[in-house]
């Protein structure tokens, strides 16, 4: 079964890859992704300076999903700029994920990381876990301003990673902003921010930062992820490549993302829980599912969701 995909002109050997944030901070973790069957190596979202992130515990897995408030622990963009040429030797696309603690950080990082030669750059407009910093992706004007600042600095395909939206008016507003900025691909969605998981036995929250508030991931968010993939797929009439992220635990979950319009999928919670072996399992499951349904490739079923 052909599970290769092309996004913004870049060929991926498989349509599964890690979500930024899931075991992709250190050189060792990124190299393990390089050796695995992940179709790409996606770095942790990088900031100007290295960060330890939020206090522990900051990740909690439960049946059906996970909650995290990592707080962008990362090595700082200078270190990722050094690592990128080594990571490219694994022979699969390297996606550099760029974040920032204020708007001015993004262009500074984008310029430098672009020079390091990643295959694509993903601009993260949606980290929900920095205390006191709202998600830029919920402000269409600020997002447009930022995308317009970084776009001219980037010579490889540039994508944006967005938070989940819950109203068609917001899909429309962000879709229009994105349409003005020369964006080459979308990544939908980041975790569902500022959720709260309660342990009734302990009568307590399960993570320490922000009073227990954090981003929800895993199976529980799949319908929200699918809705966002579908809404933006339709907004751009199928012309905007989309990486679907959220709730991919099985090959069937990936198939649903593809049907909604995703070209590829990223794996977060399942990767954290299962390790890099998850990619081989997902490939096998998706291939069997596509075969059963008579498709010849992952590309072939993209966007083919039937409406009633
Ligand atoms: C985090 O580091 O807190 C998660 C990053 C993100 O959600 O973008």
pLDDT of residue 204 exceeding 90: yes
pLDDT of residue 22 exceeding 90: no
- Give residue 297 CA to ligand 1 midpoint distance, Å: 32
Burial 54-70 (b: 16+ CB within 10 A, else e): beeebbbeeeebbbbbb
Would 274 be classed as within a structural domain? yes
What values do phi and psi take at 106, rounded to 5?
-60, -50
The pTM of the full predicted model, rounded to 2 decimals, is 0.98
Q: Kindly give the number of the ligand 1 atom that is closest to the alpha carbon of 53.
A: 2
Is-contact 97 44, C-beta < 8 A? Answer: yes
Would 307 be classed as within a structural domain? no
Give the mean pLDDT of 225-248: 98
Over residues 108-162, the pLDDT tens digits come to 999 999 999 999 999 999 999 999 999 999 999 999 999 999 999 999 999 999 9
Q: What is the number of domains present in the chain? A: 1
Sign of the CA dihedral running 129, 85, 159, 231: negative
- What separation, in Å, do the N-terminal and C-terminal C-alpha atoms of the chain show? 29
Predicted pLDDT at 127: 96
CATH classification of the domain holding 119? 3.20.20.70
Q: Is 129 in the pocket of ligand 1 (CB under 6 A)?
A: yes
Over residues 63-119, the pLDDT tens digits come to 999 999 999 999 999 999 999 999 999 999 999 999 999 999 999 999 999 999 999
Would 210 be classed as within a structural domain? yes
Q: Which of 301, 289, 303, 276 is nearest to 16 (CA)?
A: 276
3-state secondary structure the chain: CECCEEECCEEECCCEEECCCCCCCCHHHHHHHHHCCCCCEECCCECCCCECCCCCCCEEEECCEEEECCCCCECCHHHHHHHHHHHHCCCCCEEEEECCCCCCHHHHHHHHHHHCCCCEEEEECCCCCCCCCCCHHHCHHHHHHHHHHHHHHCCCCEEEEECCCCCHHHHHHHHHHHHCCCCCEEEECCCEEEEECEECCCCEECCCHHHHEEEEECHHHHHHHHHHHHHHHHHCCCCCCEEEECCCCCHHHHHHHHHHCCCEEEECHHHHHHCCCHHHHHHHHHHHHHHHCCCCECHHHCCCCCCC
Would 117 be classed as within a structural domain? yes
Would 231 be classed as within a structural domain? yes
- Give residue 130 CA to ligand 1 midpoint distance, Å: 8
- pLDDT band of residue 231 (cuts 50, 70, 90) is very high
Q: Kindly give the number of the ligand 1 atom that is closest to the alpha carbon of 97.
A: 8
Give the mean pLDDT of 209-217: 98
C-alpha 243 chain-centroid distance? 7
Q: What is the mean pLDDT of the chain?
A: 98
Q: Kindly give the number of the ligand 1 atom that is closest to the alpha carbon of 68.
A: 3
Predicted pLDDT at 241: 98
Over residues 250-307, the pLDDT tens digits come to 999 999 999 999 999 999 999 999 999 999 999 999 999 999 999 999 999 999 999 9
Give the mean pLDDT of 172-180: 98
Would 244 be classed as within a structural domain? yes
Selecting among 15, 24, 102, 127, the annotated active-site residue is: 127
Predicted pLDDT at 216: 98
**Percent above pLDDT 90 for the chain:** 100
Active site includes 127? yes
pLDDT of residue 4 exceeding 90: yes
Would 308 be classed as within a structural domain? no
Predicted pLDDT at 194: 98
Would 190 be classed as within a structural domain? yes
Is-contact 265 254, C-beta < 8 A? Answer: yes
Residue 271 domain boundaries: 5-301
- pLDDT band of residue 243 (cuts 50, 70, 90) is very high
- Whole-angstrom Cα distance, residue 153 to residue 134? 24
């Amino acid at each position: 079964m052909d599970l290769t995909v092309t996004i913004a002109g870049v060929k991926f050997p498989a349509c599964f890859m890690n979500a930024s944030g899931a075991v992709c901070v250190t050189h060792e973790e990124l190299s393990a992704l390089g050796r695995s069957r992940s179709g790409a190596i996606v770095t942790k979202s990088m900031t100007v300076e290295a960060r330890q992130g939020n206090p522990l515990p900051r990740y909690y897995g439960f049946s059906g999903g996970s909650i995290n408030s990592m707080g962008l622990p990362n090595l700082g963009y200078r270190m990722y700029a050094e690592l990128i040429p080594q990571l490219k030797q694994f022979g699969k696309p390297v996606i550099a994920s760029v974040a920032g603690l204020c708007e001015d950080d993004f262009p500074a990082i984008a310029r430098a990381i672009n020079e390091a030669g990643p295959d694509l750059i993903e601009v993260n407009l949606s980290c929900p876990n920095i205390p006191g910093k709202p998600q830029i992706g919920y402000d269409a004007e600020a997002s447009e301003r930022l995308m317009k600042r970084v776009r001219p600095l980037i010579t490889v395909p540039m994508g944006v990673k967005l938070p989940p939206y819950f109203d068609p008016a917001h899909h429309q507003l962000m879709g229009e902003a994105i349409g003005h900025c020369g964006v080459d691909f979308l990544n939908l969605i980041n975790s569902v921010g500022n959720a709260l998981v309660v342990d009734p036995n302990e009568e307590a929250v399960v993570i320490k930062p922000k009073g227990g508030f954090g981003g929800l991931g895993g199976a529980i968010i799949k319908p929200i992820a699918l809705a966002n993939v579908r809404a933006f797929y339709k907004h751009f009439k199928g012309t905007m490549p989309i990486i679907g992220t959220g709730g991919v635990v099985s090959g069937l979950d990936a198939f649903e993302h593809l049907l909604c319009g995703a070209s590829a999928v990223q794996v977060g919670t399942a990767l954290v829980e299962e390790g890099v072996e998850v990619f081989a399992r997902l490939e096998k499951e998706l291939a069997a599912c596509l075969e059963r349904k008579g498709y010849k490739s992952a590309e072939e079923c993209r966007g083919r969701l039937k409406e009633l």
